Amino acid sequence: MKNITVVGAGTMGNGIAHVFAMNGYQVNLVDISEKALEKAIATIAKNLDRMIKKEKISEEDKNATLARINTYTQLEEGVKEADLVVEAATENVDLKLKIFSSIDQLAPEKAVLATNTSSISITKIAAATQRPEKVIGMHFMNPVPVMKLVEVIRGYATTDAITQQIMELSRNLGKIPVEVNDYPGFVANRILMPMINEAVYTLYEGVAGVMEIDTVMKLGMAHPMGPLQLADFIGLDVCLSILRVLHDGFGNPKYAPCPLLVNMVTAGKLGRKSGEGFYSYGHGTKELIIAPTFAK
Ligand code: NAD
């Protein structure tokens, strides 16, 4: 695989493009928004500068990496020579089904189609194509250039050969791939989201405050971030939608999202990206919020 197309140039798409280009792959980055593409290239350049400062790469490496990335607003142009397409567009099931149906028609027959979805069924996405055996989950973690893990998710029809090819490719990117099967939340979010939900319940029931809950998990369990701070970082809307996927997918009430989480999302308190969640990010630094009425 030499030519990689990344569809969606947001938070994850720019990181995925960065990592492929830095490892010598030719990258076509596609987004419907010209502005998102410009921002993505600026972000990649800034992150490469940071790596130069840390003496991890040279100025020439930076220039060569940037030279390997081309940007497109037309999907057709971006995928026509792809060996692999990694889709990292907005997390919306109808949108992804539409994108995969189009990519399937526009990309070469041999191309493998991967998705970076956090929660949507790979099997469902694969069913929107005529090549379900070549569709796979490639779940990178945020921030992509830093985080080692790639959760490689086999859909119901994904072949062993394609799975091994993607495992090998992930290793070539300096990542550590882990193979998992396609069930709601895969492994990462199936375990992480109930923990975050339980932390919100603990707050909701007044067992402890935000700081206390995060401190217990940081100092007691050696987590680098407490679960409420992590929820703010991921986005409370994203956490809620993944919990709903788990709840619907398994039909088990243990995944029911905490009413406080639902209320906060309804009120537009989405965490870091909206400036306020369990903490406030108004001045660029995190401050504790005591706002939720149920909380101590
Ligand atoms: P984002 O909102 O930052 O970026 C999404 C991008 O997709 C936007 O630039 C948007 O313009 C573009 N887009 C929308 N429709 C498109 C289309 N039809 N064609 C091309 N581009 C289109 O989102 P993100 O946080 O980068 O998430 C992308 C994917 O990665 C989602 O599936 C998400 O679940 C997954 N993911 C996110 C994280 C995270 O921490 N943010 C972690 C792991 C996986």
Determine contact, residues 255/243, Cβ cutoff 8 Å. yes
Please state, rounded to an integer, the average pLDDT across all residues of the chain.
95
Q: Looking at residue 285, what is its pLDDT?
A: 72
- CA 9 to centroid of ligand 1, rounded, Å: 7
This prediction's pTM:
0.92
Q: Looking at residue 296, what is its pLDDT?
A: 45
The catalytically annotated residue of 3, 14, 116, 118 is: 118
Q: What would the pLDDT profile of 1-56 be if each residue is shown by its tens digit?
A: 999 999 999 999 999 999 999 999 999 999 999 999 999 999 999 999 999 999 99
* Residue 290 predicted with pLDDT over 90: no
Q: What would the pLDDT profile of 154-208 be if each residue is shown by its tens digit?
A: 999 999 999 999 999 999 999 999 999 999 999 999 999 999 999 999 999 999 9
User: Ligand 1 within 6 A of 142 CB?
Assistant: yes
User: Ligand 1 within 6 A of 99 CB?
Assistant: yes
Specify the ligand 1 atom closest to the Cα of 140.
Answer: 43
Q: Looking at residue 273, what is its pLDDT?
A: 87
Q: What would the pLDDT profile of 52-107 be if each residue is shown by its tens digit?
A: 999 999 999 999 999 999 999 999 999 999 999 999 999 999 999 999 999 999 99
- CA 27 to centroid of ligand 1, rounded, Å: 17
- Annotated active-site residue 189? The verdict is yes
Higher pLDDT, 217 or 290: 217
CB-based burial, 163-172: b 16+ in 10 Å, e otherwise: bebbbebbee
- Annotated active-site residue 139? The verdict is yes
User: Ligand 1 within 6 A of 117 CB?
Assistant: yes
Q: What is the secondary structure of 167-232 as a DSSP string?
A: HHHHHHTT-EEEEEE-STTTTHHHHHHHHHHHHHHHHHTTSS-HHHHHHIIIIIH--SS-HHHHHH
Q: Which domains are delineated in the chain?
A: 3-181 (3.40.50.720), 189-290 (1.10.1040.10)
Non-local CB neighbours of 86 within 8 Å, separated by 6+ positions: 4, 5, 6, 7, 16, 20, 114, 115, 116, 138
Whole-number Å distance between alpha carbons of 177 and 139: 9
- Annotated active-site residue 151? The verdict is yes
Look-up of token digits 């909701």: 204
